Amino acid sequence: MGLVSAHKLGGPKGIGALIVRPGVEVPPQLKGGGQEMGRRAGTENLIGIAGFAAAAKAAAKDLADGLWDEVAEVRNILDSELSAGPNETISVGNGLTRLPNTLCLIAPGWRGETQVMALDLAGFAVSAGSACSSGKVRASRVLAAMGFDAARAGEAIRVSIGPGVTKDDVGRFAKAWTAAYARARSRAA
């Protein structure tokens, strides 16, 4: 069984799909009519479904055309720039298969929330947690499962880029992040 949200691939918010293997019974949350085999109540959101289908088609084309390979290349350039130099940056998952548009960095001695504020002032938006834990203050279960303690997990940020982000853009980000990290380290010394 799997769940897919349309907004994760550029479709409308509020629509998704539940993928169920044949023979798996899913108990209804709200009793529905016969048109949905009793699984859900209400009328289908046809406009949302059509938007989801269009987004899925466009995403499949982007994938086939290598768009996300290009995004991964730009992400890798950013990763290299941030991992180079005198700092002790940890690039989480570096060398492993990972999402092409996302980079998770741990900056020892620099709290994630402080990084978010410093980068916001520099004109960049990043997150100190996963997208689905926004606003919550607790260590990442994923980072803990990867062997990072709560202190290291609290020093992590997530940087997401997309198809419109250029090598120059990530170069400017790397310069701003590196300068802010140097300031943070000098204050801590």
Q: Which CATH architecture has domain 67-188?
A: Alpha-Beta Complex (3.90)
pLDDT in tens, 8-44: 889 999 999 989 999 988 887 777 767 666 767 777 8
What confidence tens digit (pLDDT) does each residue in 80-102 have?
Answer: 998 876 668 899 988 889 999 99
Side-chain half-sphere CA neighbours of 55 within 13 A: 19
Global pTM reads 0.78
Query: What residues does each domain of the chain span?
Result: 2-64, 67-188
The whole-angstrom separation of Cα 52 and Cα 54 is 5
- Cβ count near 115 (within 10 Å): 24
Catalytic residue numbers, as ranges: 132
